[in-house]
Amino acid sequence: MARCKYCCLVVFIVFLIGKTYSQTPTLDSIQVLIDNAQNDTLRLRYKISYAAELAYVNPSNSKKNLDEAIHEAQLLKFRQGEADALYSKAIAEAFEGNYQESMTLMINATSIYQEIGKESGVAKCYGGIGNIYYFLNNFPKAVEYYENALKIYEKNNEETGIASCLGNLGLIFQETYQFDKALKYQYKGLELEKKKDNKRGIAISYISISSIFLSMDNLSEAKKNAKEAIRVSAALMDSSTLSDGYLRLAECYRKLGVMDSAQIYLNKTIDINYKIKAYHQLAYALETQTNLYDSIGKYSLALKAHRDLLRIKDTLLNSEKTSQIIELQTKFDTEKKEKENQLLTEQNRRQEITLYSLAILVILGTGLALNIYNSRRKIRNANLTLISLNSELQQQKEEVLTQAENLQQANFAIQKQKELIEFNHRKITDSIAYASIIQTAMLPSEDIIGNYFSDYFVFYKPRDVVSGDFYWIKEKDDSVIIAVADCTGHGVPGSLLSIMGISYLNEIVGASNLSQPDKVLDELRLAVKSIFRQSPNDLRKEGIEIAMFSYNPKTNKLIFSGAKISLWICRNGKIQEFPADKMSIGLSMKESAFNLTEVSLEVNDIIYLFTDGISDQLSYETGKKYLRKNYIEFLTRISYLPLSNQKISINEMLQNWKGKNCDQTDDILVLGLKV
């Protein structure tokens, strides 16, 4: 289903100039408006619109123009212009696969739109955030933001926005193999785009419909819609959507077996995506090209395309897994080169023998000519020498042919091993991605927190695709129970233990009257020890570190119990620790009942719960851990900020500390709650 993702990103880009256009403007037409603008504010509006349109053909230059526009908007105190520029830069970052930067810019733009009461701006930002979650395979979150955007568009009867939302929701149905529903949404969106005469929207709708028919193997309809998309995009001179159309048409011809046409359109989309740096779509096109060349026996071209694919995926995939694939290919290339050198050596040796034989024949022939009258005995000896040489040459020829056959068999075996490794790698990667969807679905909705606290944030960043950290929320009577936990390990083992922990907490609190944190932790410890059959002599270390509290907003009372994870409360710029017991949920050397701490909260108090992921993060420059002491000092410095800004500051600090060349050490989870 990866093919349908590439038409999702652009559907929320709208033009930011004051006048509404039924046709998508060209760069030249917008430049004319910039040159003739009557004041700085109007000129800036046109400049932002120009940079937004430029994102389709040159995201890098688009970002440079938008940075200038953001600075000018701040100098003019033009808040809507600043928000428009932030949003457009987020789109350009997303085109280049920089989703973290794109998400940060989307959030900042949303805040400004909400501040100035610009509902249409808030809606398009919701759509952009939904796109980012969609690319990260977090479909529930993507649907949540698409539906929020759709509500605003329907409220204000904005048909272009409604069409965009319908198209993206159709992509979700396609991704989950509900093709009839997907087509229904896409056709509705196409009708609205045609009604507004939005050329880019029309082209994108055709691309989405073609992609759905491809998934259904209805190749005639898929080809027809792909050609319509190409026709509209070519007239529009829109590189991104034109590339999408070429890619769908190439896939149609590949499935129809018309390989020459498939190669032509694949080369077109690859050329475009290299120019505009659309790495996700480029990766899919290169993967399709690799499979195409491989299926028609052009193995050298297939290997070249695969190398290009690996280079592009280096910025999009886990670096460790990518390096393993590159190492495997390097080994394959080295072995192949060695075998080619051996074969070449054998060929050279055979040629030398042939030359020596010819030289001997010439010498013998000359001798025979000069000594024609010599005795028959000399002639007979010369003939015997020739026969011996010919026999030796024949034997050497047979040996060379045998070696060549062995080399061919070895190359075939290496190719099969390579294909098996790639197949297993895809299966493992797909399984882990689906496990991430399951784990994300088990996490509670953050909206519950808003019923009890005035402000909050959740900073959740797994080290791998799935995480050993989790958070858990349960409403009980007039209180809310919140927990943050860190399970042994990370990746797949940690995620399995986290899912088990969530299930046990739901059973303990939901199926009984237990709501007091220390009692809940006692029961959870018994369950974990039972499932792992742990005994005092057991050397295994499976367990859970957890902090849990129950809060009643009517009394402003909080009761806390923790297993190796403390509770931190910031009041008037000072942070106080409420220590946890030094026992984990599982087997401990000294085991006793968990303690209970009661705290009276005040208005504007901030509660922090976090695992050890940030404090254990290594620095690329020094190789040292960040340490909890430094982390608490950092939280103290940013405690005056709104919690949404605190979340952004924590992420920026983390990226600066570890650097671009250092991997994330552990799963990371931080909760911030304001009374």
- The whole-number pLDDT of residue 272 equals 87
362-380 average pLDDT score: 70
Run of H or E residues at 669: strand 668-674
Query: Looking at 132-146, 153-167, 288-302, 525-539, which range is the least confident one?
Result: 525-539
In terms of DSSP H, where are the helices of 137-238? Answer: 139-155, 159-175, 179-196, 199-215, 219-236
CA dihedral 269, 274, 275, 276 (to 10 degrees): 90
Q: Is 90 exceeded by the pLDDT of residue 570?
A: yes
Q: How many CB atoms lie within 10 A of CB 214?
A: 22
HSE, side-chain direction, 13 A CA sphere, residue 94: 34
Which homologous superfamily does the CATH classification assign to the domain defined by 2-316? Tetratricopeptide repeat domain (1.25.40.10)
Residue 544, classed as helix, strand or coil, is strand
- The whole-number pLDDT of residue 174 equals 80
> For residues 339 and 345, what is the distance between their CA atoms, to the nearest angstrom?
10
- The whole-number pLDDT of residue 87 equals 94
Residue 333, classed as helix, strand or coil, is helix
Q: How many CB atoms lie within 10 A of CB 115?
A: 11
- Higher pLDDT among residues 27 and 477, named by residue: 477
Provide the β-strand partners of residue 471: 484
> For residues 598 and 161, what is the distance between their CA atoms, to the nearest angstrom?
50
Q: Is 70 exceeded by the pLDDT of residue 63?
A: yes
> For residues 673 and 550, what is the distance between their CA atoms, to the nearest angstrom?
13
- Higher pLDDT among residues 329 and 187, named by residue: 187
Burial class of residue 301, CB neighbours in 10 A (0-12, 13-18, 19+) = middle
> For residues 226 and 247, what is the distance between their CA atoms, to the nearest angstrom?
9
565-588 average pLDDT score: 94
Residue 102's identity, in one-letter code, is: S
HSE, side-chain direction, 13 A CA sphere, residue 440: 19
Q: What residue spans define the domains of the chain?
A: 2-316, 322-437, 443-674
> For residues 7 and 240, what is the distance between their CA atoms, to the nearest angstrom?
9
Helices vs. strands in the chain: H and E counts, helices first: 22, 11
> For residues 33 and 44, what is the distance between their CA atoms, to the nearest angstrom?
10
Question: Percent of the chain, pLDDT > 90?
Answer: 38
Asked if 277 contacts 59 with a C-beta cutoff of 8 angstroms, the reply is yes
Predicted confidence (pLDDT) per residue in 629-640, tens digit: 999 999 999 999
> For residues 269 and 250, what is the distance between their CA atoms, to the nearest angstrom?
9
Predicted confidence (pLDDT) per residue in 294-334, tens digit: 888 888 888 888 888 888 776 555 433 334 433 433 443 45
Nearest to 509 by CA among 500, 519, 499, 496: 519
Q: pLDDT band at residue 286, thresholds of 50, 70 and 90?
A: confident
- Higher pLDDT among residues 538 and 207, named by residue: 207
Q: Judge if 2-316 and 443-674 fold alike in CATH terms.
A: no
- Six token digits for residue 168: 């993206």
Asked if 674 contacts 611 with a C-beta cutoff of 8 angstroms, the reply is no
What is the residue whose two structure tokens read 């695709």?
A: 465
Asked if 517 contacts 481 with a C-beta cutoff of 8 angstroms, the reply is yes
Q: pLDDT band at residue 403, thresholds of 50, 70 and 90?
A: confident
> For residues 407 and 414, what is the distance between their CA atoms, to the nearest angstrom?
11
Nearest to 12 by CA among 148, 151, 133, 131: 131
CATH number, domain 443-674? 3.60.40.10
Nearest to 249 by CA among 215, 214, 217, 284: 214
Provide the β-strand partners of residue 585: 544
Radius of gyration of the chain (CA): 33
HEC profile for 420-469? HHHHHHHHHHHHHHHHHHHHHHHCCCCHHHHCCCCEEEEEEECCCCCCCE
> For residues 59 and 277, what is the distance between their CA atoms, to the nearest angstrom?
7
Buried residues in 261-285 as b, exposed as e (16+ CB within 10 A)? ebbebbebbbebbeebebbbbbbbb
> For residues 314 and 326, what is the distance between their CA atoms, to the nearest angstrom?
10
- Higher pLDDT among residues 110 and 367, named by residue: 110
Residue 484, classed as helix, strand or coil, is strand
Query: Which of 261-270, 409-418, 595-604 is most confident?
Result: 595-604
- The whole-number pLDDT of residue 75 equals 93
Predicted confidence (pLDDT) per residue in 214-231, tens digit: 988 899 999 999 999 899
Q: Is 80 exceeded by the pLDDT of residue 603?
A: yes
Residue 10's identity, in one-letter code, is: V
Predicted confidence (pLDDT) per residue in 20-49, tens digit: 333 445 677 777 788 777 788 888 888 898
- The whole-number pLDDT of residue 453 equals 96
What are φ and ψ of residue 312, in 5° steps? -70, -40
Query: Looking at 198-212, 237-251, 293-307, 331-345, which range is the least confident one?
Result: 331-345
- Higher pLDDT among residues 385 and 459, named by residue: 459
